[in-house]
Structure formats: structure tokens, C-alpha cells
Amino acid sequence: MKTGVWLVGARGSVATTSMVGALALRAGLAEPTGCVTEHPDLRGSALPPIADLVFGGHDVVTTCLAKKAETLGEAGVVPPRLVAAVADDLAAVEENLRTVPVGGTQAETAAALAADITGFRDRLGLDRVVVVNVSTTESLPEPLPAHGDLDLLRAELAGGGSPLPGSSLAAYAAFTAGASYVDFTPSTGARLPALDALARETGLPYAGHDGKTGETLVKSVLAPMFAQRNLNVRSWSGLNLLGGGDGANLAAPGPNAAKSASKQRVLAETLGYEPEGNTRIEYVDDLGDFKTAWDLVSFAGFLGVRMRMEFSWHGCDSALAAPLILDLARLTSAAHRAGRQGPLTELAFFFKDPIGDVPHGLSEQWSLLRTFVAGLK
Amino acid sequence: MKTGVWLVGARGSVATTSMVGALALRAGLAEPTGCVTEHPDLRGSALPPIADLVFGGHDVVTTCLAKKAETLGEAGVVPPRLVAAVADDLAAVEENLRTVPVGGTQAETAAALAADITGFRDRLGLDRVVVVNVSTTESLPEPLPAHGDLDLLRAELAGGGSPLPGSSLAAYAAFTAGASYVDFTPSTGARLPALDALARETGLPYAGHDGKTGETLVKSVLAPMFAQRNLNVRSWSGLNLLGGGDGANLAAPGPNAAKSASKQRVLAETLGYEPEGNTRIEYVDDLGDFKTAWDLVSFAGFLGVRMRMEFSWHGCDSALAAPLILDLARLTSAAHRAGRQGPLTELAFFFKDPIGDVPHGLSEQWSLLRTFVAGLK
Amino acid sequence: MKTGVWLVGARGSVATTSMVGALALRAGLAEPTGCVTEHPDLRGSALPPIADLVFGGHDVVTTCLAKKAETLGEAGVVPPRLVAAVADDLAAVEENLRTVPVGGTQAETAAALAADITGFRDRLGLDRVVVVNVSTTESLPEPLPAHGDLDLLRAELAGGGSPLPGSSLAAYAAFTAGASYVDFTPSTGARLPALDALARETGLPYAGHDGKTGETLVKSVLAPMFAQRNLNVRSWSGLNLLGGGDGANLAAPGPNAAKSASKQRVLAETLGYEPEGNTRIEYVDDLGDFKTAWDLVSFAGFLGVRMRMEFSWHGCDSALAAPLILDLARLTSAAHRAGRQGPLTELAFFFKDPIGDVPHGLSEQWSLLRTFVAGLK
Amino acid sequence: MKTGVWLVGARGSVATTSMVGALALRAGLAEPTGCVTEHPDLRGSALPPIADLVFGGHDVVTTCLAKKAETLGEAGVVPPRLVAAVADDLAAVEENLRTVPVGGTQAETAAALAADITGFRDRLGLDRVVVVNVSTTESLPEPLPAHGDLDLLRAELAGGGSPLPGSSLAAYAAFTAGASYVDFTPSTGARLPALDALARETGLPYAGHDGKTGETLVKSVLAPMFAQRNLNVRSWSGLNLLGGGDGANLAAPGPNAAKSASKQRVLAETLGYEPEGNTRIEYVDDLGDFKTAWDLVSFAGFLGVRMRMEFSWHGCDSALAAPLILDLARLTSAAHRAGRQGPLTELAFFFKDPIGDVPHGLSEQWSLLRTFVAGLK
């Protein structure tokens, strides 16, 4: 059962780390640390093995994959010895990468993207393909009527219009190519009624949004703790310092706003009220992939006595995200095979801004996930 | 339905804070922040209202309760205005406090303690009494055959022997007085087979050990997070800086060892392996009740990349413990009323070192607690 | 030798804390902790004793001083027992406070302000008066030709113009009233060539800018440490979380920019290069006067190995600033008496953004200060 | 002017990092980041250039230097590309390493050690040699009469006695071989009156003790800051988590006590009083050379208001120590050449526990050092 993983942003840090890791795991050179689907409670025959994942994808840049992997090796994101060991396999993946077409109408672009995906599936004899968006975060688009109605959307596209942001166009292409879709970024992706309708029409599942890799992950266990202890969180403020391409983009006002809102949402949802405070994202080129997030939580306890907690998270963003890409590909593919269509709300565990009316506390998300995986068998 | 709360260590910081708080709540002067049993998911008619709790207790010291409350007010542990407002009610509680008898055999002491408890119940017309140990942490006692056999224990006591540490003698007295027993300290308490047998013989429930108020609370949500994300925790080291009577005692080698072991246990239980590292307790008189705990977690992620997390917890120990005393009194009394006997393992949520084969992750403990409370109705 | 301290922003937190403290010190109820001029190396007969300081001032608000002091007592900024003890003295100070006149031309306002200051001096028989600006931080004003030329400035004022920001108008009024001037805020104050000329013409000294109370203080010792060890600071990023009136104002874009620039300047000056990174100021009402600043320093050591340092500063802003107000009043008054005029660059120790071409490392500033005080004798 | 650097503990992490670095600097492959003597204020012709340093040394182990360097490369302490680039030079150094002789009397051992040092000097035509102790920290030795009297010491050695700890025997050998001596560890070294007499008799300088590389460095700037601001430090507590051979040794009670005392001394010396609190050292193998130190400073400000500061230092111990070894060798050699004998108290800048009645604040130590270097010209 060979499963294709089609990465949008295939030459970026997260995608490259995922691929190097999967190839190293297949070669028996590394442990699946950080892969949630290798947790004893989730392991099972319903999921395609990591060794059976086949990679391809789109990117707007043309950096050589081997070169990118080497850079990640020098930066300490992946062990250089593994980069060397999987060099041949990585060169083979290079054959499956395509440039995002430019210059045509959105309809033409979508058709070209979809053709790349179906070509990948047919050429390599894959059972099914999951498209995973790991490209740069977009600003929030202006709402349009075509976002809410599939017929209207088709009409606008047919008329040469450009109603969709890039991530949604990728989802549109995925669905028309018969592939499921996962959005690991806070971009719009499949999160439009028109695209939900398309997914249901084509019988495909999708998942998102915004992979939960560090600070928000910690928030999603600390906030329920404060809630269950009936402590009154008065303010929760945070600063994220990060470099890399992601950092540069997220420091721009548009994407920054999208991301910060996504980061505070967990508090309102798990506490039942919104404490004061913001989450700031600041680009510090020098830090590269090794992000530091610091949070200060100020809370009132018995009889109003004031207390504080602070934490620093020193994480390697790509190394935290990469195994989750493999997890999401395995889970979404298995859901596709099992006939699921529409949003996979049970994958909330992986996301900062999960789709649907789902719990935001990590432990309830974990229960949802376990039940979901058990049901796939 | 008046419920007696008999505090062992009734003139200490935790006990005094509990009493000031309960009296202030009864007078409508404060919110029940920090009281778990006031969480919307747990609130219900099965539990005795906080306003119906009646306080008494033992202590080895004779500090005036009003004086102790004032000192706590000056130290910022309770608001001075509340201390002033409940002064009369506190003076009334003073009538219910007794000195721990000294000089007799353990059998005589136990009889005197039990007489104090039954006197409290009868004089005030209480429906039932919960004995809660909040006295100073003991060193681990030498194991003795009498600990494992109720008949042997009775024989030794009858023969003038002293087989029991103080906390266990208090539990013995509680059970013989028909009162349930909660150990909020890491001391031995009811945790001996002979005392478990006595609890069952007298049809009484008990709970413990070692209230989970700060650093271990945080560990009990962070460790499951690392486990569920399949991250490999390599070391987890901590330092607790605290003053107050508790700090001075815990810095002594015996109690320190008991406490530290209790603090690391959550890691082995939730991670499934024991990472390197220790939890140190250090007495810093100057910090008083406002403890600071700092933890460093070093972990490996995907392909072995090393990352770190650290947190600082600046909590007021007595203010964190006090509402839990009220919670445990309400829950244990309701369990007693419902006919429960033996260990209340469902109260694991409250303890660093819970009795029984129970989960150590906070969210699973929360589920246990919710089910328990629902079943009491 | 009675010295008047005329506070601009006299009803604010910093001013009120200064006055409560000075009165408590005079009454022998408190130690001069935090007063730099009470350091053994600086103590001497040249400085007016704290007990001889007499307070007055302007404010735009009319909050009662006693009420403000009580609020500070409740917030833990000053001990409530001291507020009670100095109540009568504080009521006497209330007699010396004046409202900032509104509605007239700047020339009329300046004349009224100056009249208030001379009235204060004459009525109370003061030897001299120091005006200290502790009012709200202004945005950077637009540069105007009148700022650079005293004659032009006088002409514009005489013509009914409004060329000066508030803090500079206060300095103008001070100088015309024969009083020295200290700016404890980042506002413009006396820092205009026209006002420097006026100070020299009237033979008066002045000092500023922006009291160094927390994060920048720490920076001013850590940055020289990195420099002397020849370590390469790659990035230095910080977040200041603070409430209170100051916080609300500083979070506004204009004042925030003024303040943040002032906070990073110490790095370029002491390191000899400007590392990456910013200092953010974020208003969190809930934190009140108890600010938390967090900084991350990322640096390269031998052979380029990367290391990090982070610190959290949990300070009470008004309590850190207040004793420095007393110090600056004593030092500036003594300089005035000694015949100094123009900028007191030797007071750089107290400021984030000191006037003149002075060292920014704290220890060199300390040497300057010691020499200055020794020279006053 | 070729200068020999004879390292005691030559195959350890610090020594190897020093040598790899010096060789890389000589080859123009690295910048002298972290080398204090390359600071613009200190650079000058009086010091032997790093490129002219020639390495040799003793060790009790026989690990191959190249292998050790590789291990350091894998651990991220030195860049692997530099290890590769200096492989040949490192092999040449290997020729200059000797095993510490075992089995003889102390007199015989000292003679053999001295012969190794003179052999090194003569064989390679060196102008002078500095012996630098970077071996494992010893426990404090029992005081003996021979430590206080050179004649007595010589008599005991001649009689076959073993009056000296290892580090002092190394100093004895150095002095008899005409070499100066630096102790970078907290061990006894030359710090005995008998050895001081020997240094003076032989006209040799010496320096020590205990290189100041991280937490104590930070303390030596923060403590003066608190003092100069007249803030009252109430407690200062710290935890050092470190792995590596140094960590394992320092966690043993004897060396730990020696080191911890050395670490708190800076506080008493710079504050003028000793605040509460300890510095704990804890071995965490997993952390390797990348130590984390955390400190909590609790202090009182104006009117007794309580505040806190905490910092975390994430440093690579060997990378912090190695450039200081080069500095100390250059400075001590230049002092030897300039005719200095006895303790070089002006090198206090480098040490946690400097010899002599010297300032402990970093900035005063920096002034001393600058004057010292200027005087060498």
C-alpha cells in the first residue's frame, strides 16, 4: 500500500527535514522519536508504514534538495551523517518535484497542479496521495461570495477570475486530483465552504490548521491545568523569537496577526474566558530554526493571592514539525482509505487552530485521536 | 449536614489559611478561587457546602490562631482585611483546638486523640468528621511487622509499644473515632496494611499522599505532553527554593528524601521510563511561603535533535494548599456518607504520591475525579 | 539648608512613592534602601539630607495624594503602615501642589508655572528648588528652528506660538524661575539647544534622561561583561510587560518608539556594534506596577560555538524609581549650590539615555559619579 | 619568542579545545572570539602571539588527542571542520605529551615531571614555559606543617613523604623546572606558603584560582550592580547542571564543597554582606559540556518592597574556558619575561577565587588587568 505525500513547499526546511527523516527511518538509521503515530497507544496496521511513504511536491523556488539538506545539517537541524546516508534517495525524490506554474489564470494553474499530482500517483503506482501544505503563511484573504458557494467558485474560475488565495488553490487542485489535503500552516487552505463542498463531492478528507509544535503545545496542557485547579488566569503574555524563512514571514504584519490570533485561541477555549495579554512573534535571523518562546502567566489563587509562572521553550521548529507531517500523512491517508470525507476534526491534537467544534486541551485531543485510530482498524 | 474538619497541625500556615478562607467564603467576602470542587464540572449537591464545614484540630504548638492569621496577612498569604473580618469566627474555632497529649504510651495518646475527635463531633452535633493531616513531614519510618497486621499492631499498642509514626497514630485515632482520614503530607499516615484493615473494619475511607500544589502539578501535565508527542525526555532536574516551617523541615535529609522521591515519581509513571535528574529542595528562610521552583527539561526530538524547556513557578504554597484541604474534606466526607471505605484512589488528582495503581497524568486523574463526583450524587 | 523638590506629575505613582518614602525616612520609620546617595562611597556633607527635602509640584490630575498613597499601599508598592504613619505630613504636602494651567498661550502657561515654583520657594523659605519631571512620556516632537535658538524661541513664545512639548515648557519655566531641572522620563525636557542656552544664561544645571530602573540597568552591566570577555553578542531581544499608567502610555506607538530606542542604545554604546533584536514594551494592566522584563542574549564564543543567556527581572517600577528621584534632587541641588551650570553628564549612572558623550557601562558611570560627589565637598 | 604551554590534564576537554583553537587561529581559520587578550584595550606587542604558543603536557589518561578532538566535534564543542583542518598539527602536539609517572615517591615524581618540562623547553627551543593546571578538581587537602615552610617541605619530600596534593606537586615541579604556573581549577596548586617561597626563590610568577567562565562571571557584574544601587540582596541561590568529566567530579562532596564556596565568595566580597542561599552543583551526564546554571536573586528595594531577578546561563564550559587558557598563558609568560615573581594578583579578572586582597567586581578587575597589560609594554 504505497502512499504518496505531495508537499506544497517541498524545498523548505520542514519538508526537507520530513523527507530526510523518513528516508533515514526506512534505512533503519534513526528512531521515530517525535512521531506520534509510533506511540504504543496508536501503533497499528491501519496506518501506512513510514517506509511506504513516497515523496513529491511543488515549490516556487528551485533550491536543490540535497543542498537544502546539507544546510540543515550544518545548522544542526538534522545530523549531517544522515544527510550523507540518504543522498541517493533524496536525489530520487528530486525527480518528483515540480515548479508551481506561473502566468496563467487560476483555473489553468489549478489544472496544472492537479496534473502534477495525478502524474505523480500514476507514474509511481501509488494507492493514494495526501497533499500537505508546508509553504509560507499567507495573510488572511478578503472574504468573497465565491468562497461560500462551489458553483459560484467554479463560475469565477471558469471566467478567468482569481478568487482563491494560494493555499486554497492548492486544496482545490488536490481535491480535483482525488487527493486528500492537510494544511500545516495558518493559511486558509480548505477552510472555505466552497472547498468543503468540493471535498464532500469528491469524497475526500482534509485536515488543519497550523501545526502545534511548541509554545501553543505547552499552552494546551497548562491552560487546562489552571482551569481544573480553578485558578484564575489574569494575564498570559508571550514572545516568540525565531529566525529562518518562517520567522521573516511571520514578522510581517499580515501573517503575524493570523498566527498570533491562532496562538491565543487555545486560552479562551480551555479557560472559558480570555485573559489579558498577547503573543508576539519577532524575527531574529540569528536564531535560525532554533526558536525560543517565553511566556509569563499571572494568576490569582485562593483569596486572590497573586502568583506567576513563566516558561522558556528552546525548540528546533523544523525538527518538531517534520515528524508531525509524517503522522498527518499516514492518518489522513488511512482516513481516505476508510472512506472518511470532509474535515478530520479528530486530528485536533496536531493543530493550533483545529477545524470544528473540538476541545483545545491536549489530553482531550489525545483521547479523540486514540479513538479515531482505533476506529480505523 | 454539618461536617467537621479536624486538622492535625491546626495552627500551621496551611490550616490557618484554609480556615480563614472558609470563614471568608461563608461570609460572602471572597470567591472560591482555587477550590477544585467549585469547578462547574464538579459542583453538585452531593458535597457538603463550604459554609457548612466546622473546624477543629490538634497541634503540638500553642500559637494563637488570630496571631498566626495576622502573620499570614503581613506576609501576603491572605488579605489582611479578611483576617480582620473573620476574627470573631476564628476565635470561635480556637475553642475547638486541642494540644497533642505527650508523655503517655502510644495507646494512651491514641485514645486521647480519638476522644478529642469524638468530643468535637458530639459537642457540635456534626454528622461526620474528616481528619486531615497538614502537620510537618516525617522521615520514613523503619518497617515493622506490626505495620502489616492489625492484630499485631493492637497487641503491641496494648503492650505499651510505640510502633507507629505520628501521622499513622493520627490515622489510627481517626479510625477508632469513626472519622475518615486524609494525608496531605508525604508522611506514612494510613498507608500501612494494618491501618487499611482498620479502615475497612470501621467502614471508613481515607486518602493521600502529599498535596500536589506546584512543581509536581506542572510536571503532571508536561510529562504526558512529552510522552504523547513521543519526544524523548533525557533529563529533568529541578530546584525548589522555599522558606517557612515547611521549608526548614524539608531541607533536613530525611524528609527531603521522602519528598524528592515523591516529586520524581510522576515522571517514571507518565513517561514510562525514568529520565536522569533530581529534584532538590533548598530552604531559603527569606522566601517565606512564596516558593520558587525551577525545572530544566532536556529532550531529544526527531532524528535526535536536542532541545530544552525550562519553567519557573512562583507560588504561594499555603494559598495553593488551603483550598485543596477544603476540597478533600468535602469529597472524603461525601464518600464516607456514600458508604465508601478504604483508599479513595479516585482522589489522585490532588496528590503527588497517590494511593493505588492510578494514573499520574493530571488529565486522566481529572477524568477519574469527575466520574467519582458524578457517582456520589 | 532646605531644598525644594518640585515634581511635575506630582500625583503619579513615582512621585507619591518618593514623597511617602522621604517622609517615612525623616520620621525614622524606614531605611534608605535603594537610595544611591546613601551608599558608603557617596555619603557626605555636600548633599542636602533627605530629611531637609520639601515637596511640591504640578499635575494635570487632581487625585488626592492621600488616596493615591493608599492605592499604592493596597498594591504592595509601599507598606500600608507607612502610608498611615505619614498621613499628616502628606496632607501638608498637598498644600504645595498646583494644577497645570490650561487654556492660555505657552508663554502664559510658562509664566504661571514659574510663578508656582517661585511661590513655593519664597513661601517656604527654600534655599533652592529642583524641578523633576516624572510625568507621562511624550512622543518625540517635530523638530523646529525655535528649538535651536533661544532668541527665536523667545520670539515665538512672545508671538503666541506653541513651539515646545510639555516637558520642555516645564524646563523653560524651571529655568526662568531659577530652578534646576531633571528629566526622569524619555521626553525632550531640557534637551534642546535653546534650553541649554537658557540654562547657561541663568546659571542652572540640568540632568536626564529616562531613569534606569530595571532591564536597562541589567543590560548596562551585562553588555560590558560580554565585551570585556570578547564574546560576540549576536542578538539581544527583550519584552517588557507592565501595567499602570506608565504601561498604558508606553504601549502607544509614539512613546513606545522613544522608549525602545533608549533601551537598545546601551548595547551599541558598550559593545561597539549593534546586535540584532528589539526591546518590546507591552501593556498588561493586570501586572500593575510589578513589571516583568525578559531578555534573551544569544552569543558566539570560542571558535563560533553558540550559547545563550536569559534573564527575568520582576521589579516594582515605582519602588525602583522613587529613591532615585531623591538622589537626583540631592545631587542636582548640590551641583546648583556648587555653581555648576548646563548638563550634569556625571549623573549618567541614573539614566537610560544620558546626556553627553559619556560611558554607558554602569561601572564607568559609577566612577564618574563618585568623582563628581567627591568634587562637591 | 616561542612560548611553551604545558597543560596538566592535556588530554581533557578544556586543554584539547584550547589547542584545536590555537592551531586553527594560527592557520587563519578562526577568529579569536572569547580571547580577552585580543580585546582592543589589551592588544599589544608585550604578549606572545597566539601563533607562537607551543603545546605540551601531562595527563594520567592516554586517550588519543585526535580522538578526543573528534568527540568534541561531535558534541558541538568545536566545529568538526576545524578538527579536520588541524589534524596534522594536533598529531605533532601528541609528540609533546607525557604520562604522569606513578609508583615513585613524591620527590621522584616531581623530578620526573620537571624533567619532562625542561625537556619540552630544550627540545623545542622555547624561551619560557607556563604550566597550566586544567586537570580534575581535587578535594581540599588536610593542612600540614610542611605546607607552610619550604625547608620543611623539602625535608619531607627528601624523606620519602607525600605532603602535597597533586596540583601542588605540579606547581612544585614547574617552579623547579623554571616554569611559571597557573591554576585554572579550585585545587590547591601554588597556594601554599612553602610554594610561594619557592616561586620567589626561583623568580617565577604564578596565578589562580578557578577559571571564571559562567555563573560566577555573571555574579561578578550583577552583585556590584545591586550594591551600587544600594539594593538589599536577601538571598541568592543557584543550581548548576552539568555533565562531562568535570560535572561528575564536581558532584562528589569534596570537590563540590570546594567549588561552591568559591562560587559564593564573590557575593560577600562585592556586597559587603553574605546573603542567604547556596550554589548547588548537580551532575547530569546527558547535558555534557553544555551547562545550564540558574540563579534566583531575591532583594528588597525602597521601603522594603520585595523584588526578584532570575537568570539562566546556557554555556559550553570548555568553549568558555579554552580561550582563557590562551590568555593566561600569554599574560603569565609576559609577566615572567618582565621579571614578575610571586602571585599575579592583577589577573583576578579570570578567576572565581583570585589570589590576594583584590576586588571581586568584574569592572574593577578589568581596570586592574588593563593597567597590568599596559605596564608590561
pLDDT tens-place string over residues A329-350: 999 999 999 999 999 999 999 9
Look at residue A244 in the predicted model and tell me its pLDDT.
76
Chain D residues interacting with chain B (CB cutoff of 8 angstroms): 234-235, 237, 239, 241, 276-278, 280, 282, 284-287, 292, 294, 296, 298, 308, 310, 312, 314
CB-CB neighbors (< 8 A) of B38 in chain A: 230
CB-CB neighbors (< 8 A) of A276 in chain C: 284-286
Q: How confident is the model at residue A321 (pLDDT cuts 50, 70, 90)?
A: very high
In this complex, how many residue pairs, one in chain B and one in chain D, have their CB atoms less than 8 Å apart? Answer: 63
CB-CB neighbors (< 8 A) of B362 in chain A: 224-225, 228, 363
pLDDT of C257 > 90? The answer is no
Gap from D215 CA to chain C (nearest CA, Å): 10
Look at residue D246 in the predicted model and tell me its pLDDT.
63
CB-CB neighbors (< 8 A) of A29 in chain B: none
Residue of A nearest to D312 (CA): A312
Look at residue B152 in the predicted model and tell me its pLDDT.
97
Over its C-alpha atoms, chain A yields an Rg (Å, rounded) of 20
Look at residue C103 in the predicted model and tell me its pLDDT.
87
Residue of C nearest to D223 (CA): C221
Query: Which residue bears the cell 530554526?
Result: A289
Q: How confident is the model at residue C258 (pLDDT cuts 50, 70, 90)?
A: low
Query: Which residue bears the cell 599575579?
Result: D344
Same domain flag for A222 and A346: no
* Contact (Cβ atoms closer than 8 angstroms) between residue B138 and residue B255: yes
Q: How confident is the model at residue B153 (pLDDT cuts 50, 70, 90)?
A: very high
Gap from B201 CA to chain C (nearest CA, Å): 53
Q: Kindly report the CATH number assigned to the domain that includes residue D291.
A: 3.30.360.10
Between C237, C241, C310, which is nearest A237 by CB?
C241
Residue of C nearest to D364 (CA): C363
Gap from A90 CA to chain D (nearest CA, Å): 24
Average of pLDDT values for D245-263?
A: 69
Look at residue D243 in the predicted model and tell me its pLDDT.
87
CB-CB neighbors (< 8 A) of B292 in chain D: 296, 308, 310
Q: How confident is the model at residue C247 (pLDDT cuts 50, 70, 90)?
A: low
Question: Residue A335: which domain range?
Answer: 3-211+319-376
Residue of B nearest to C79 (CA): B74
Among B269, B290, B316, the domain boundary falls at B316
Give B34's contacts (C-beta < 8 A, 6+ positions apart): A229, A230, A231, A301, A302, B319, B320, B322, B323, B324
| Strand bridging mode D53-59 / D180-183 | unpaired
Look at residue D264 in the predicted model and tell me its pLDDT.
77
CB contact under 8 A, C323 and D301: yes
pLDDT of D330 > 80? The answer is yes
Per-residue pLDDT tens for A70-84? Answer: 999 989 999 999 999
Same domain flag for A311 and A324: no
Residue of A nearest to C279 (CA): A282
| Strand bridging mode D3-8 / D53-59 | parallel
Q: How confident is the model at residue A178 (pLDDT cuts 50, 70, 90)?
A: very high
* Contact (Cβ atoms closer than 8 angstroms) between residue D294 and residue D239: yes
Q: How confident is the model at residue A247 (pLDDT cuts 50, 70, 90)?
A: low
Give D49's contacts (C-beta < 8 A, 6+ positions apart): none
Look at residue C185 in the predicted model and tell me its pLDDT.
94
Query: Which residue bears the cell 514572545?
Result: A239
CB-CB neighbors (< 8 A) of D291 in chain B: none
Same domain flag for B207 and B127: yes
Q: Kindly report the CATH number assigned to the domain that includes residue D18.
A: 3.40.50.720
pLDDT of B109 > 70? The answer is yes
Gap from C80 CA to chain B (nearest CA, Å): 10
Q: Identify the three-state secondary structure at position A279.
A: strand
Same domain flag for B148 and B262: no
Among D316, D335, D365, the domain boundary falls at D316
* Contact (Cβ atoms closer than 8 angstroms) between residue D191 and residue D170: no
Per-residue pLDDT tens for A39-70? Answer: 999 987 889 999 999 999 999 999 999 999 99
Same domain flag for C356 and C326: yes
Between B278, B286, B294, which is nearest D282 by CB?
B278
Average of pLDDT values for D314-331?
A: 97
pLDDT of B246 > 70? The answer is no
Look at residue C214 in the predicted model and tell me its pLDDT.
87
Give D25's contacts (C-beta < 8 A, 6+ positions apart): D31, D32, D50, D51
pLDDT of D254 > 90? The answer is no
pLDDT of D256 > 80? The answer is no
Q: Poorest-confidence range of A351-355, B148-152, B264-268?
A: B264-268
Residue of C nearest to B79 (CA): C74
Query: Which residue bears the cell 533550491?
Result: A63
Report how far apart, in Å, the C-alpha atoms of A344 and of each of A183, A205, B94, B101 are: 12, 6, 60, 65
Chains touching B (3+ CB pairs < 8 Å)? A, C, D
pLDDT of C254 > 80? The answer is no
Same domain flag for A261 and A331: no
CB-CB neighbors (< 8 A) of A277 in chain C: 241, 282, 284
Average of pLDDT values for B248-261?
A: 70
Give the strand order in the sheet containing C180-183. C97-99, C53-59, C3-8, C128-133, C180-183, C205-208, C342-343
The percentage of residues in chain A with a pLDDT greater than 90, rounded to a whole number, is 89
Chains touching C (3+ CB pairs < 8 Å)? A, B, D
CB-CB neighbors (< 8 A) of A14 in chain B: none
* Contact (Cβ atoms closer than 8 angstroms) between residue A368 and residue A280: no
Q: How confident is the model at residue C69 (pLDDT cuts 50, 70, 90)?
A: very high
Residue of B nearest to D300 (CA): B286
Between D276, D284, D296, which is nearest B292 by CB?
D296
Gap from C166 CA to chain B (nearest CA, Å): 40
Average of pLDDT values for A275-294?
A: 93
CB-CB neighbors (< 8 A) of D351 in chain C: none
Burial group, residue D212, by CB count within 10 angstroms (0-12, 13-18, 19+): buried
Look at residue D247 in the predicted model and tell me its pLDDT.
63
Between B276, B284, B308, which is nearest D237 by CB?
B284
CB contact under 8 A, C285 and A278: no
Question: Helix crossing, A362-376 with B215-228: angle to 10°?
Answer: 30
Same domain flag for D68 and D84: yes
CB-CB neighbors (< 8 A) of B276 in chain D: 284-286
Same domain flag for C108 and C23: yes
Same domain flag for D115 and D201: yes
Residue of B nearest to C312 (CA): B312
What is the average pLDDT value for chain C, to the nearest integer?
94
Per-residue pLDDT tens for B203-219? Answer: 999 999 999 998 999 99
Same domain flag for B186 and B331: yes
Same domain flag for B225 and B191: no
Per-residue pLDDT tens for C110-131? Answer: 999 999 999 999 999 999 999 9
**Count of domains forming chain C:** 2
Look at residue A260 in the predicted model and tell me its pLDDT.
72
CB contact under 8 A, D287 and B298: yes
Average of pLDDT values for D242-247?
A: 74
CB-CB neighbors (< 8 A) of A347 in chain B: none
- Give the span between the Cα atoms of B4 and B179, in whole angstroms: 9
- Give the span between the Cα atoms of D107 and D110, in whole angstroms: 5
Same domain flag for D169 and D242: no
Chain D residues interacting with chain A (CB cutoff of 8 angstroms): 76, 312, 314
Helices (H), B46-145: 65-74, 80-85, 87-94, 106-124
> Model pTM?
0.94
Look at residue D286 in the predicted model and tell me its pLDDT.
92
Q: Identity (one letter) of the amino acid at D58?
A: H
CB-CB neighbors (< 8 A) of D239 in chain B: 237, 239, 280, 294
Residue B145 DSSP code: G
Look at residue D258 in the predicted model and tell me its pLDDT.
66
Phi, psi of C252 (to 5 degrees): -70, 145
Among D316, D334, D352, the domain boundary falls at D316
CB contact under 8 A, B36 and A229: yes
Between A36, A79, A229, which is nearest B228 by CB?
A36
Gap from A1 CA to chain B (nearest CA, Å): 25
The percentage of residues in chain C with a pLDDT greater than 90, rounded to a whole number, is 89
Report how far apart, in Å, the C-alpha atoms of C149 and of each of B195, B224, C154, C174, D258 are: 91, 68, 9, 18, 65
Per-residue pLDDT tens for B13-67? Answer: 999 999 999 999 999 999 999 999 999 999 878 899 999 999 999 999 999 999 9
